[in-house]
Amino acid sequence: MGRVFLALLGLAVVLPLQAADPAGTAAGQPATAPARAAAPNEAPKATVTERKQPGQVTQAVFTTGIQNLEPVNNISTLTNNHRHIYFFTVLSHMTGQTITHRWVYEGKVMAEVKFKVGGPRWRVYSRKTLDPAWLGEWQASVVDASGVTLGVSTFEYAAAAKPPAAPAARPARGNAAPVAPRSSQ
């Protein structure tokens, strides 16, 4: 009977602990804090965050020409029988900012062209005249006024294929002399 009494006493101690823990968490694990109920006249608080969309380069291409403010093609390699190349970019959400097209060859800045962005979607291009000896990889970057690079594009300036050599004159066979054309009279 003593054992039954101790068992009942132990049960009486455990039951109040479980009743105080309605979430049913096991011993040693933290219970979650109850959610705070809103007062009847209190409106839920909305968080309004104004998101300023950052400026971005939405298009950047190298081209051999511009027509109607659009690139005529999109190239990644240009041969040195061409002397000019254009870097065309479309800029979004940068109204009022100044951006720069920075042309780099072999780690050296070869040109910088600045533009004032006049609208929410702005198309700009710069043109670079190339020396046929400046072969290799070129970079053009779009840089904002604080010096942050917004985008980088590259193209390869390559040697043009040499035209095939003219065939050598064939030697005459035997001792025959060349025949002159006959005139018709």
Helix or strand (DSSP H, E) at 127 = strand 121-129
What whole-number distance in Å separates Cα of residue 60 and Cα of residue 102?
A: 13
- How far apart are the C-alpha atoms of 159 and 90, rounded to whole Å? 30
pLDDT tens-place values along the chain, 185 residues long: 554 444 444 444 333 333 333 333 333 433 344 444 444 555 444 444 444 557 899 999 999 999 999 999 999 999 999 999 999 999 999 999 999 999 999 999 999 999 999 999 999 999 999 999 999 999 999 999 999 999 999 999 999 987 766 666 665 555 555 555 555 55
Does 1.10.630.10 match the CATH number of domain 56-158?
Answer: no
- Say what the pTM is: 0.61
**Of 70, 60, 124, 119, which Cα lies nearest the Cα of 93?**
119
- For residue 116, CA distances in Å to 59, 87, 95, 169 come to 17, 16, 8, 61
DSSP 72-110: S--BSEEETT--EEEEEEEEES-TT-EEEEEEEETTEEE
Domain range list for the chain: 56-158
Residue 142 parent element (H or E):
strand 136-144
